[in-house]
Amino acid sequence: MPIRFEVLDRRHDRGSFTCGTPALDDWLRTRATQDQRRHVAQVFVALDEQGIVGFYSLSMFTLALESLPAELARKLPRYDAIPAALIGRLARHQRAKGAGVGDLLIADAVKRVLMAAESVAAYAIVVDAKSPKAAAFYQHF
């Protein structure tokens, strides 16, 4: 199934998207474009012939130096905050379960962060997994 990525806009039908996590479905339907307008997140959608098959959001972020493992922190300058990128939300449609869409979402997000890091420094990519299953997904990468 060919998939393309675009920045979320009003053309995209969000009403039929369901990933199985009501909070993520609701965010995409009701708050994603608000977050974009307020410049707190940029939202990217993965599209196939049926519509949105997945999405993720990216934001700038800072890490507290003391929150990093000691072996990493000692290699960094003693700044209060270290620049990072945040994958804030990521989900794939239930109809695409097992099709590798999650892998493609992560790959596209990392590609965009690396391209941005050529202009704006980002020491790390941060995720905030909402469940043990989500944490296992991210740890795989």
Lowest mean pLDDT among 15-19, 27-31, 125-129: 125-129
Check: CB of residue 94 under 8 Å from CB of residue 54.
no
Task: Tell me the pLDDT of the chain averaged across its residues.
Answer: 93
pLDDT of amino acid 1? 60
Predicted local distance difference test score (pLDDT) of residue 30:
95
Q: Residue 132: pLDDT above 90? A: no
Are 44 and 108 in contact by the 8 Å Cβ rule? The answer is: yes
Q: Tell me the whole-structure pTM to 2 decimals.
A: 0.91
For Cα atoms 108, 85, 121, give the angle at the middle one, nearest 5 degrees. 105
How close are the terminal C-alpha atoms of the chain, in Å?
A: 22
Dihedral sign of CA atoms 39, 43, 17, 49 in order: positive
pLDDT at 80: 85
Q: Averaged over 6-27, what is the pLDDT?
A: 95
pLDDT, residue 133, reads 87
DSSP, residue by residue, 65-91 = GGGS-HHHHTTS---SEEEEEEEEEEE
Q: Over the stretch 35-93, which tens digit does the pLDDT of each residue have?
A: 999 999 999 999 999 999 999 999 999 999 888 888 888 899 988 889 999 999 999 99
* Range from 82-86, 101-105, 133-137 carrying the lowest mean pLDDT: 133-137
